[in-house]
Structure 1
Amino acid sequence: MHDNELIPAQLTLPVRLPVVALLNKPVFPGIFLPMMVNTPSDLRAVELSEENGGFIALLLVREAGEEPRDTSHFYDVGVVAKIVKKVNLPDGTINIFISTQKRCKAIKFMGSEQPYMIAVEYLEEIGDKNSNELKAMVRSLLQEMKSVSENNPFFNEEIRLNMLNIDEPGRIADIITSILNIDRDQLQKILETLDIKTRLEQALMLIKREQEVSRIQKKVSKQLNERIEKSQREYFLREELKAIKAELGEGVSDPKTMELERIRDAITKLDLTGEVKEHVERELEKFSIIDANTSEYSVVRNYLDLIISLPWHATEQAEIDIERGKEILDEDHYGLDDVKERILEYLAVRKLKKDAKGSIICLVGPPGVGKTSIGRSIARSLQREFFRFSVGGMRDEAEIKGHRRTYVGAMPGKFIQGMKVVKTRNPVFMIDEIDKMGVSYQGDPAGALLEVLDPEQNATFRDNYLDLPFDLSEVMFIATANTLDTIPQPLLDRMEVIRLSGYTEDEKVEIAKRYIIPKSLKKSGLNKEHVRYDRSALKAIALGYAREAGMRHYEQLIDRIHRKVAKKIALNEAEELPIKITESSLEIYLKRAPFKDEDIKKVTRPGMVIGLAWTAFGGDTLMIEAVAIPGKSGLQLTGQMGDVMKESANIAYTFARLYLATKGKASDEREFFERHTIHLHIPAGATPKDGPSAGITMASAMISLAVGKPVKKTLAMTGELSLVGNVLAIGGLKEKSLAARRLKIKEVIIPKANAKDLQEIPENVKENITFHPIDRMEKAIELLFDQE
């Protein structure tokens, strides 16, 4: 729009204006332009403008692209604009055509609700518009602009004519500044500059910079064109050279042709069919015409190399020998009889039904119990290749399904990488730490695993990089986890869970003798003639140093002993060989044992009860402590309890209070909770604890406290409590029983619903422990105290 179409400058402007927010860059005075209005606050501001002649204030927000949250997010200086035309669009938004008038400054915001109304002060330019100095600067500015306008598409013919017709130096500076590609903060700073001379100087400086950018751009473009011309010339010369050699019968021996022939021969031997064959032939054709000096050449070559490396045809199945599988499992692992039995059952099904699908094993247990080594044993018993990778901490879905081939560094997912390594269609894949996957903006790896592990889908699995159907149905998948709680339910439903609970001290001694000590001796450069262990020493390590469920820490301790023995032998400090490791000499090699009999949790006063807990590291014992503080009634909880455990504590408090109020033998017992605040604590307060199996333990601690009697010293318990006194089932009974045995517990109270689980606990674990299955809390109370 030409100057004479703009609103006259002498038009009376209002002193109060509604604000329309500019998110990207400011607008300068003297310009006619369209604007899309789509936010509710800006739409309301346009409506309010009709009350004062269609005028609005255009203010830039301080954070680029962000809607203003309050008045402090606006710059103070903007422009006043007149809405010349308004067009209502079908989607509820408005397209307005505005004519910007003058610079204005927000003196005050009227209210804090959007749309904002501001009281404005109109800013006048500083400087003599008719001075010879400004005229000379304008002439220089217009001359410099001509060279820039030849390469800048924003300087169209209409803009050039408008600038020639404008006789105000300030407006020429504003128009040129608004067209140039400048940072928004710099534009705002120029908008706030009222001195005309300063604005003209800034415009001149910006045009000079634009000229320099244009010069560099031409130089780069010229160099690029020269490089392309040279590459094309070399390509045609090479093609001519090949044709000449072919005519002379010398053959073709350039690297690209040799690579092409190698890949073509390998693909021919694969004998591909259908979609895969068509896709590979297209890629091969593309590879034959791509220049070897381009980046795309290496991308296509790597892709074709992957296709060559993958096992596309079914592998001949080796006969499954159940007896051999049993021998291997017994050879590699001591104990774990129920686990071995379930694995042998699995192998038997595979033997009878060759195409058995859907059986995906998930080995669940504490660290160090042998989950990964069992996977290796299964692969050895099946005579299959073994490939292991961990998904612990994985947050990128592309790690499972691969990256799309849109950039040079793209790679296939872990499963296709594994198939490339094993080069067989029926390997054993072990997916470690499946319970430790994460979720991020890059996707959900657990969701991607659903497709891989689903037998109905993995026969035509499509990796994003490969982008071809690949059959994973013959792969045997074994997953490992420490806990099932963090595995998504749809993923867990596809797997058959086998639990590895942990080892007793006797089992640890046998494992140490058979596997750990010979392996550690070899690693330390020793042999059985250098060191000899007493059985009592091995048992003392299990009881005093390594009480966790697994064997990892136990193995580290044996390694430490062997390192010290190796040092003695190397320095000739050994008095005689073999060096004997006895229970009394352990402190020389391992220092003081962290666990002693006197350190075992013991009940010493009323309000103390031993509970059994299950953790990702195996079974454990918790000492529940309760004390009574005289005063008003109430319950205080400490010890880093989670929400579920806090609910259990409140239920236990309510039950204990109701029980004693109705069945207390004396008034002191019946009114105990009315006159005391109960403080319930679980030691090791820095360790978070949660779970639904400590209800009866906390209720027992409160009742013991109220009646003033300590519970039996060798009694432990586990079970969830309902509000009306029912004892509910729990999980992880085997792990909890192992923890009770380590603590030398004689009696264990368990829910009646878990009585059937006792048959899964080895006899040597249940030995010397009396289990009391109960269904009501009253029965537990009868078992708490010694008979008087």
Structure 2
Amino acid sequence: MSDNEVEKKETVLPEELLIIPLVGKPLFPGVFTPIMITASDDMQIIESAMKAEMMIGLLMVKDENIEIPDAQDLHRIGTVAKIVKKINLPDGGINIFISTIKRFKVKEFTQRQSPISARVSYIEDDETADPDEIKAMTRSLIAEMKTISDNNPLFSEEMRLNMVNVDHPGKIADFITSILNIDRNQQQEILDTINIKERMEKVLIYIKKEQELLRIQRKLTAQINEKIEKSQREYFLREEIKAIKKELGEPIDSKSSEHLKFKEKIDALGFEGEIKEQVEGELEKFSLMDPSSSEFIVTRNYLDTIVNLPWDAPEPDEIDIERGQEILDEDHYGLEDVKERIIEYLSVRKLKNDNKGSIICLVGPPGVGKTSIGKSIARALNREFFRFSVGGMRDEAEIKGHRRTYVGAMPGKLIQGLKIVKSKAPVFMIDEIDKLSSSIQGDPSSALLEALDPEQNTEFRDHYLDLPYDLSHILFICTANTLDTIPRPLMDRMEIIRLAGYIEDEKIEIARKYIIPKSLKKHGLEPKHIRYYKTALHAIADGYARDAGMRSFEKAIDRIHRKVAYKVILGKGELPHVVEKKNLEEYLKKAPFREEVSKQITKPGMAVGLAWTNFGGDTLILEAIALPGKGGLKLTGQMGDVMKESADIALSYVKSICADYDVEPEFFEKHVIHLHIPEGATPKDGPSAGITMATAFLSLITGKKVRKHLAMTGELSLTGKVLPIGGLKEKTIAARRMKIAEIIIPKPNERDLDDIPEYVREGIQFHPVKEIGEVFKLIFEEE
């Protein structure tokens, strides 16, 4: 049965239709085509329509990504169709053959959810145009479409015949639109166009665009064919040249020369097993490649990496312990416990006579000399030194390399470093290991664990090399500001050495021996140009550089030398320029640190605590005031959750014992206690301020000031016990920098005093306590 006969038979079109949403492209009237139905709701619509011999409406979905569309997701103009035949499919779906009849427009959706139904009105084509003009446009459409179909093998002979035999101009435009390779929304636009002239004009524009695409496609095809022919011709010519040069005994080409060099180096390395098999395979592949291909460069770089890596086992270290001690003393002032640990470590390596590497982790605040200690260890071992930072690293390929399937692939940092130092047993310094990150590119800390673990790194596989490589001869030295963010499995494999920081006297000696000579050379000055009084250096340490390390001190010295260099150039003043305490502000302006911490304790409710941070030990001044109110605790100063809990515990304990100090419990019901820690922009956390908070609260409610030159650290339990804390050495150094004379510490931390050098403890009185009651006996000034 033809489409025309179907249309004649169905003279009455229903006013209400069941709607099938079309996810793909819209269907035009006058088309006989199959549709696959998989949605269960749509299959029920088809069954109902076939039983009642009803027609169905086809509306295109606006967004094809919507899984279950409703009425608002559908276009308003579609096509009514008659179901001719249904075929059940093995996967449970159905295939229906439909004959589309006429355009319709939705007047109203009677059912907006599936199964969707709508009241419709049928649309007649608007033929209000000059017949001759329509006839001319029809001929143009067919002629232009014939040009496309002749050059496109996808157009079948049946399509061409149907196009010629369609007699109605509107249907010709619809048929051509249905077979053009245009966007679904553009096809819907044609379906929405009722005026035949406008519809044909739009279709002509799309045909012209298709012709332009075909023209570009033919041009590109011709260019590609030309390149292929040229490439083949050049290949045969090169082969002829090779044969001629071979007969004459001349070098063949640069590629062959490189192949011979790679082969000589690979043979000299004497690979065995898996490594030999893979490297020789890559070398053979390299010999067969066209030098102009991208793969040629990739393979060449790979072979270049292989032959430039150190593969031979290194000689055992000749460690001179006395020389190592001299180097450490020469490069660093102070840090006696750190030097002792390093000398012990070197002694074990010498006694064991083992070249296998180990992992040292130097932990301390910035500017205390972690990197320079690593360089000194490399000097003591007479090894090459290579340093790289992993701070903020988020891609594990930085450690393990990229696979060679990626464009621009390269080996990881470890293999790159070995290629640079050309030694299998260097000292590798991995900076900022506590600042590793992770992302969708992987976890660098896991990759680093494989590289550092002595049990795994004997056959480390870099993704780029894809060969087992022995990293166990490398001495790894890591640096970190804190251990808190280092993954536990990684930290367990490292020998931790802490660098606590420097007291004022140490800073003066370091400045005199190292920083000032280095800065003079850096600024083009000589010792005759400047002279420092010791009082000036003390003033710099106290007023401008109270951090744990030496960076602030070094910056201050650099500022002084820049001003002196300026004076020397202009010939101002007499030589040498003298820097003393009274003229220090001329060079450095006013000191940012003016007053000692202990002198800031001026009112009840104030106490000095000791804290440990990533930048070393520090002092905290806690301030508490009471405000009229209905009770409660207000906290400010960027406190973390742990510190907030410590404040709650401290206040609860002070409430429980306030009667012992002649303070009525009703005081806390009538006042809001506000606790603040200055430098509110700096985050603070940890439990070690517990006894300091309790001291501030007790001082507030009793109206008694806390003694000057007294600081404290300790965690407080709810029953009043003082629990141990960490970082006592760093806190003691901070207390000494701030002129603290007495420190209250937990009794369990008394054993940690042995780890603090005598010259650091000198002049400080320690009060070990077990309970907060002992603290309260020590804190107040005598009346």
TM-score by length of 1: 0.89
State the match for 1:646 in structure 2.
Answer: 644
Find the aligned partners of 1:639 and 1:181 in 2 and give their Cα distance. Answer: 66
Shift of the 728–665 alpha-carbon distance from structure 1 to 2, 3 Å rule, reads closer
**Shift of residue 420, structure 1, vs aligned partner:** 0.5
State the match for 1:759 in structure 2.
Answer: 754
Unaligned runs of 5+ in 2: none
Q: Which amino acid aligns with 2:650?
A: A
C-alpha offsets along residues 139-181 of structure 1, whole Å, 9 cap, x if unaligned?
4334333333355565445655555565565555455445544
Q: How does 1:113-262 map to 2 (within 5 A)?
A: 124=123, 126-128=125-127, 133-134=133-134, 136-150=136-150, 152=152, 155-156=155-156, 159-160=159-160, 163=163, 169-170=169-170, 172-174=172-174, 176-183=176-183, 186-187=186-187, 189-247=189-247, 249-262=248-261
**Per the alignment, in what secondary structure is the counterpart of residue 528 of structure 2?**
coil
**Per the alignment, in what secondary structure is the counterpart of residue 674 of structure 1?**
helix
Shift of the 196–522 alpha-carbon distance from structure 1 to 2, 3 Å rule, reads same
State the match for 1:283 in structure 2.
Answer: 282
8 Å contact kept, 1:28–1:100: no
C-alpha offsets along residues 719-746 of structure 1, whole Å, 9 cap, x if unaligned?
2333333333322222222221122222
Q: How does 1:343-492 map to 2 (within 5 A)?
A: 343-355=342-354, 359-492=358-491
8 Å contact kept, 2:16–2:118: no
8 Å contact kept, 2:70–2:116: no
Find the aligned partners of 1:644 and 1:180 in 2 and give their Cα distance. Answer: 68
**Shift of residue 753, structure 1, vs aligned partner:** 3.0
Q: Percent identity?
A: 59
State the match for 1:694 in structure 2.
Answer: 689
Shift of the 386–169 alpha-carbon distance from structure 1 to 2, 3 Å rule, reads farther
State the number of aligned residues: 770
Shift of the 665–528 alpha-carbon distance from structure 1 to 2, 3 Å rule, reads closer
State the match for 1:611 in structure 2.
Answer: 609
Find the aligned partners of 2:357 and 2:124 in 1 and give their Cα distance. Answer: 80
8 Å contact kept, 2:450–2:456: yes
Find the aligned partners of 1:6 and 1:767 in 2 and give their Cα distance. Answer: 109
**Per the alignment, in what secondary structure is the counterpart of residue 529 of structure 1?**
helix
Find the aligned partners of 1:358 and 1:727 in 2 and give their Cα distance. Answer: 42
**Per the alignment, in what secondary structure is the counterpart of residue 487 of structure 1?**
coil
Find the aligned partners of 1:199 and 1:214 in 2 and give their Cα distance. Answer: 23
**Shift of residue 625, structure 1, vs aligned partner:** 1.7
Find the aligned partners of 1:78 and 1:651 in 2 and give their Cα distance. Answer: 72
8 Å contact kept, 1:389–1:431: yes
**Worse-superposed segment, 650-659 or 312-321:** 650-659
C-alpha offsets along residues 404-423 of structure 1, whole Å, 9 cap, x if unaligned?
11244221111111111011
Shift of the 81–333 alpha-carbon distance from structure 1 to 2, 3 Å rule, reads farther
**Worse-superposed segment, 777-786 or 364-373:** 777-786
**Worse-superposed segment, 165-174 or 608-617:** 165-174
Find the aligned partners of 1:558 and 1:457 in 2 and give their Cα distance. Answer: 47
**Per the alignment, in what secondary structure is the counterpart of residue 265 of structure 1?**
helix
**Per the alignment, in what secondary structure is the counterpart of residue 613 of structure 1?**
strand
Find the aligned partners of 1:54 and 1:778 in 2 and give their Cα distance. Answer: 93
Establish whether residue 683 from structure 1 lines up as the match of residue 678 from structure 2.
yes
Find the aligned partners of 1:684 and 1:67 in 2 and give their Cα distance. Answer: 55
**Shift of residue 697, structure 1, vs aligned partner:** 2.3
**Worse-superposed segment, 751-760 or 530-539:** 751-760
**Per the alignment, in what secondary structure is the counterpart of residue 627 of structure 1?**
strand
State the match for 1:629 in structure 2.
Answer: 627
State the match for 1:770 in structure 2.
Answer: 765
**Shift of residue 705, structure 1, vs aligned partner:** 1.9
State the match for 1:738 in structure 2.
Answer: 733
8 Å contact kept, 1:613–1:621: yes
Q: How does 1:510-589 map to 2 (within 5 A)?
A: 510-575=509-574, 577-589=575-587
**Shift of residue 537, structure 1, vs aligned partner:** 1.1
Shift of the 733–65 alpha-carbon distance from structure 1 to 2, 3 Å rule, reads farther
Larger Rg: 2
State the match for 2:657 in structure 1.
Answer: 659
Shift of the 316–633 alpha-carbon distance from structure 1 to 2, 3 Å rule, reads same
Correspondent of 1:716 among 701, 706, 711: 711
**Worse-superposed segment, 718-727 or 48-57:** 48-57
8 Å contact kept, 1:560–1:589: yes
Q: Which amino acid aligns with 1:244?
A: I
**Worse-superposed segment, 435-444 or 189-198:** 189-198
**Shift of residue 430, structure 1, vs aligned partner:** 0.8
Q: Which amino acid aligns with 2:651?
A: Y
Find the aligned partners of 1:403 and 1:622 in 2 and give their Cα distance. Answer: 47
**Shift of residue 680, structure 1, vs aligned partner:** 1.9
Find the aligned partners of 1:784 and 1:115 in 2 and give their Cα distance. Answer: 79
What is the RMSD of the two structures over their aligned residues, measured on CA atoms?
3.4
Q: Which amino acid aligns with 1:758?
A: L
Shift of the 278–572 alpha-carbon distance from structure 1 to 2, 3 Å rule, reads same
**Shift of residue 307, structure 1, vs aligned partner:** 0.8
**Worse-superposed segment, 697-706 or 173-182:** 173-182
State the match for 1:320 in structure 2.
Answer: 319
C-alpha offsets along residues 478-519 of structure 1, whole Å, 9 cap, x if unaligned?
111112222222222222221111111111111111111111
C-alpha offsets along residues 744-766 of structure 1, whole Å, 9 cap, x if unaligned?
22222223332222222222222
Find the aligned partners of 1:720 and 1:6 in 2 and give their Cα distance. Answer: 91
Find the aligned partners of 2:28 and 2:180 in 1 and give their Cα distance. Answer: 16
Shift of the 210–310 alpha-carbon distance from structure 1 to 2, 3 Å rule, reads same
Find the aligned partners of 2:99 and 2:657 in 1 and give their Cα distance. Answer: 81
C-alpha offsets along residues 656-679 of structure 1, whole Å, 9 cap, x if unaligned?
33333xx4443x432221111222
Q: Which amino acid aligns with 1:752?
A: K
Shift of the 633–763 alpha-carbon distance from structure 1 to 2, 3 Å rule, reads same
Shift of the 243–634 alpha-carbon distance from structure 1 to 2, 3 Å rule, reads same
**Shift of residue 16, structure 1, vs aligned partner:** 7.3
**Worse-superposed segment, 274-283 or 598-607:** 598-607
Find the aligned partners of 1:425 and 1:392 in 2 and give their Cα distance. Answer: 25
Find the aligned partners of 2:371 and 2:459 in 1 and give their Cα distance. Answer: 28
State the match for 2:265 in structure 1.
Answer: 266
8 Å contact kept, 1:648–1:692: yes
